[in-house]
């Protein structure tokens, strides 16, 4: 399901597994991945991480920068037919907008996605929690 963007019914026909078994397996897989990687990878930067990021930015002649933020349009090749209209962009291609925040070592600190017709780069960033702590004065002063 994850690799091909297939629905539970499609996997049911291919793998000869019941729809409920397929969905339960997917939920167990996702829960396991979250349990395994949350402490190390799916977290906010610690003060130690922040010092390292700021040091790396200074070494690259970009003082004060901790991470880079970008929005990209990711083509969804196997978009389920029931969702095709919702995921159309202006050129009728099926895609999802992905916002990512990454450091110089390509460590992804944040990811957020949205539907193209409803979202554009600006309102994806406006909805994302990336700048919340910065605006509330809870994070170190930095630039993106």
Task: Please give the pLDDT value at position 40.
Answer: 78
Task: Please give the pLDDT value at position 115.
Answer: 66
Task: Quote the strand ranges of the chain, DSSP E.
Answer: 68-75, 95-102, 108-114
Residue 39: phi, psi to the nearest 5?
-65, -35
Q: pLDDT truncated to tens, each residue of the chain (144 aa)?
A: 777 667 777 777 777 778 888 889 889 998 998 888 887 776 777 778 878 888 888 888 877 776 677 777 778 877 777 777 777 777 778 887 777 777 777 777 777 776 666 666 677 667 767 677 767 777 666 665
Place of tokens 């402490």: 39
Q: Is the pTM of this model over 0.75?
A: no
Task: Please give the pLDDT value at position 92.
Answer: 78
Question: Both tokens of residue 92?
Answer: 């009728």
Task: Please give the pLDDT value at position 116.
Answer: 65
Are the beta carbons of 16 and 9 closer than 8 angstroms?
no
Task: Please give the pLDDT value at position 144.
Answer: 56
Are the beta carbons of 75 and 94 closer than 8 angstroms?
yes
Burial class (CB in 10 A: 0-12, 13-18, 19+), 46: exposed
């Amino acid at each position: 399901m994850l690799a091909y963007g297939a629905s539970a019914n499609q996997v049911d026909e291919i793998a000869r597994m019941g729809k409920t078994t397929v969905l339960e397996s997917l939920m167990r897989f996702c829960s396991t991945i979250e349990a395994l990687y949350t402490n190390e990878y799916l977290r906010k930067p610690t003060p130690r991480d922040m010092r390292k990021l700021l040091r790396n930015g200074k070494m690259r002649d970009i003082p004060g920068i901790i991470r880079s933020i970008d929005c990209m349009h990711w083509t969804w090749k196997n978009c389920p037919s029931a969702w095709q209209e919702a995921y159309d962009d202006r050129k009728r291609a099926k895609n999802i907008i992905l916002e990512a925040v990454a450091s110089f070592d390509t460590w992804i600190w944040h990811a957020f996605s949205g539907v193209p017709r409803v979202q554009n780069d600006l309102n994806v960033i406006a909805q994302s929690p990336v700048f919340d702590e910065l605006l509330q004065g809870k994070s170190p002063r930095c630039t993106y």
